Structure 1
Amino acid sequence: MSTSSIDKASTVEKTIDVDTLRLWLADDAELAVLDIRPSDEVGYASPLFATNIPADRLEAEIDRYVPRAVVRTVLVDGGDGVAQRLAERLAEAGRSEVHVLAGGIPEWTRNGTEDLPTFDVPGKDFSLGIRDERDTPSVSAAELKTLEDQGADVVVIDTRTLPEFTAGHVPGAVGVPGAELLLRFANVVPSPDTHVVVSCAGLPRAIIGAQTLIDSGVPNKVSYLHDGTRAWKEENLELETGATAVYAPVDHAAREAAAQRVETITANDTFPRIDVETAQAWAADPDRTTYLLDVRTPEEFEQGHVPGSITSEGGQLLGVSYRTIAVRGARVVLIDDLTGARAAVVSHWLQRRGFEIALLLHDFESGIAR
């Protein structure tokens, strides 16, 4: 057989059909599914809820998302053949387990999307399940406006990222990304009599944020704003723009309050605690993928972080984990400061989504981990 025939056979072998991908999504082996279409085409999430790395960035960024070259990886394109060419180049670079979904997204959705499996649990579906299970209280935009007009003691906490908050939020809201809620709560809401309304752009982060506060035992009345800023605009109400009110540095009293709430929310949670040496040994394990995710703010990460870790703002992990954790079945180490409030929030919810989680609490001033 000629070399060209061997190459052609190898290419055919690395192409899989829809039925095969369905089987792979249902097994327990490590799997990465990468949607390589342009980001503006993918939007919030593909039908697979897979990690989006556009084709023009894939070769430069794949090592960050899929650290081990031997992980079974499926490239999904728009049915334009781009995946095949990229798979061949990645194979030449030493990635021996890169496969292509024949026909791409058009073939995946050819018979509709109703019963299609997904790579990750869609954030909205997950949050609605939590809401229904816990009966999380809500208020409508009209109800919130009435409360404010009546001068009620109410504060709106927007749990999106600060750039999203800056782009537009309910007037008077305070920007506190979701994973920061327990750590910052005592500074943002000093009175137990204040009605706290948690908001985001729609539902997922607001529901999870509200239920986080409830599960942590805050004494306040807590609700989420149904449909968030979207509902506010649908009531013909104006959004406020700019970083008008965001969380401040955590004082000692707030950190002590956060530590108590961490104990409450984690009362039934059991996660192994590891040190830096163990985390780095796991990350170097040739037989298993491990992500070292620093769930503090990006600014804290820049000031100092554990070698080999990547910044992964905790609130985003809660809603769109597939954007960071591209390998299904990987171990996830959540890195936080010694209070562990951010890691507690993220692990409390991610465990419900099937992730294997360990915690690394690190004293970033002295370099001590526990």
Structure 2
Amino acid sequence: MSTPSIETASTAERIIDADTLRQWLADDVELAVLDIRPSDEVGYASPLVATNLPADRLAAEIDRFVPRKLVRTVLVDGGEGLAKSLAVRLADTSRNEVYVLSGGIPEWSRNGTEDLPTFDIPGRDFSLDIRDERDTPSVSAAELKTLKDQGADVVVIDTRTLPEFTAGHVPGAVGVPGAELLLRFADVVPSPDTHVVVSCAGLPRAIIGTQTLIDSGVPNQVSYLHDGTRAWKEENLELETGATAVYAPVDHAAREVAAQRVETITANDKFPRIDVQTAQAWAADPDRTTYLLDVRTPEEIAQSHLPGSITSEGGQLLGVSHRTIAVRGARVVLIDDLTGARAAVVSHWLQQRDFEIALLLYDFEAGA
């Protein structure tokens, strides 16, 4: 009888079946699930709602997504078997807890996806639960067009990233990514009489943005645009392109108003406040994964940031947290300036998805 090669033996040990993954998704041990299919194939439709890290980027970027080498990590491919060889290669880099889902996505979803457990809560499902629980108000694209045609005092705030906003938005909208809403609202909407309509491409970020403003106590009427820019196009209305109107630097008065609204929305929230030294100690802990996520704008982060932190726009965390936080059960440190408006918004909603969160508010101007 021939002796199995080292690669064959080690590969076999790393293959798990769907039942094992189900058990792992239900336990309390840290777990990363990486969908290694091409991004254009995954889109928004991964039945696992797992972190998409395509195979050709896996070796170069896995340390950013799974900082600790000893975290159980499951690679899921398209059924072609690519994950097996990648798991062996990662083992050569001291990642000895990397496993492969047998059969990949096709095997996982063979009997349908309706009752399958997922790695993260889909952003759409989460936002719809918020809408149904809070009765979040909305307007249709046709209703918004009528308001604009009548010259009503209405402003549309688009809560997507600026590149998404630039690609196409409701004419006249202002680009303010979701986590920036409280910080910049007083500058963008100075009048309490203005009807504010919050938009995104579809529903999740618009619903969460609308409810954020309502929960923070803004005096304005606030609604979300049902189905966002998608609905606008379905009404045969044209989108505007370019960075036509985006947020500006926050003035002192707007920052003071934002601080008051942070107090309102976080009145019942309880998150530990930590300092830089504690954050660094947590990040270096060999027994626990900690993400240091800077939720400010990319421009601010480029000017100054804390060593070891990762840029992670807060609005994206609200809708698609799994794209950044690949390890379930990890600690999440949200880094913001001293006003803390972005961190307040993100933590307010992520706590409802069972994330363990701490806040690090830092004086970046003084630090710089």
How far apart in 1 are the matches of 2:187 and 2:353?
Answer: 30
3-state SS of paired residue (1:193): coil
How far apart in 1 are the matches of 2:13 and 2:86?
Answer: 15
Scaled by the length of structure 2, the TM-score of the pair is: 0.98
How far apart in 2 are the matches of 1:5 and 1:190?
Answer: 70
3-state SS of paired residue (2:365): coil
Tell me the residue number matched to 2:276: 276
How far apart in 1 are the matches of 2:23 and 2:38?
Answer: 26
Tell me the residue number matched to 1:12: 12
Aligned positions of 1:85-96 closer than 5 A: 85-96=85-96
How much does 1:5 deviate? 5.0
Equivalent residues of 2:11, 2:85 under 8 A apart: no
Aligned positions of 1:324-363 closer than 5 A: 324-363=324-363
The superposition leaves residues 256-306 of structure 1 with CA deviations (integer Å, 9 ceiling, x where unpaired) of 000000000000000000000000000000000000000000110010111
How far apart in 2 are the matches of 1:225 and 1:78?
Answer: 36
3-state SS of paired residue (1:288): coil
How much does 1:8 deviate? 3.0
How much does 1:21 deviate? 0.4
Tell me the residue number matched to 2:153: 153
3-state SS of paired residue (1:49): coil
How much does 1:212 deviate? 0.2
Q: 1:261 to 1:3 in 2, by over 3 A?
A: farther
Tell me the residue number matched to 1:70: 70
Q: 1:149 to 1:15 in 2, by over 3 A?
A: same
How much does 1:4 deviate? 3.9
Tell me the residue number matched to 1:311: 311
How far apart in 1 are the matches of 2:159 and 2:172?
Answer: 14
How much does 1:7 deviate? 4.5
3-state SS of paired residue (2:232): helix
The total of aligned residue pairs comes to: 368
How far apart in 2 are the matches of 1:95 and 1:2?
Answer: 28
Tell me the residue number matched to 1:292: 292
How well do the aligned residues superpose, as a CA RMSD in angstroms?
A: 1.2
The superposition leaves residues 234-257 of structure 1 with CA deviations (integer Å, 9 ceiling, x where unpaired) of 000000000000011100000000
How far apart in 2 are the matches of 1:65 and 1:3?
Answer: 36
How far apart in 1 are the matches of 2:123 and 2:273?
Answer: 27
How far apart in 2 are the matches of 1:327 and 1:45?
Answer: 20
Tell me the residue number matched to 1:218: 218
Aligned-residue identity in percent:
87
How much does 1:44 deviate? 1.9
How far apart in 2 are the matches of 1:6 and 1:239?
Answer: 58
Tell me the residue number matched to 1:320: 320
The code of the aligned residue for 1:161 comes to T
The superposition leaves residues 303-361 of structure 1 with CA deviations (integer Å, 9 ceiling, x where unpaired) of 01111101000000000000000000000000000000000000000000110000000
3-state SS of paired residue (1:32): strand
Tell me the residue number matched to 1:181: 181
How far apart in 2 are the matches of 1:193 and 1:297?
Answer: 28
How much does 1:20 deviate? 0.5
Q: What stretches of structure 1 of length at least 5 have no aligned partner?
A: none
Tell me the residue number matched to 2:29: 29
Aligned positions of 1:37-116 closer than 5 A: 37-116=37-116
Q: What stretches of structure 2 of length at least 5 have no aligned partner?
A: none
3-state SS of paired residue (1:146): helix
Equivalent residues of 2:70, 2:97 under 8 A apart: yes
Scaled by the length of structure 1, the TM-score of the pair is: 0.98
How far apart in 1 are the matches of 2:5 and 2:293?
Answer: 43
How much does 1:92 deviate? 1.1
3-state SS of paired residue (1:366): helix
How far apart in 2 are the matches of 1:302 and 1:242?
Answer: 22
Equivalent residues of 2:87, 2:100 under 8 A apart: yes
The code of the aligned residue for 2:221 comes to K
The code of the aligned residue for 1:32 comes to A
The code of the aligned residue for 2:312 comes to S
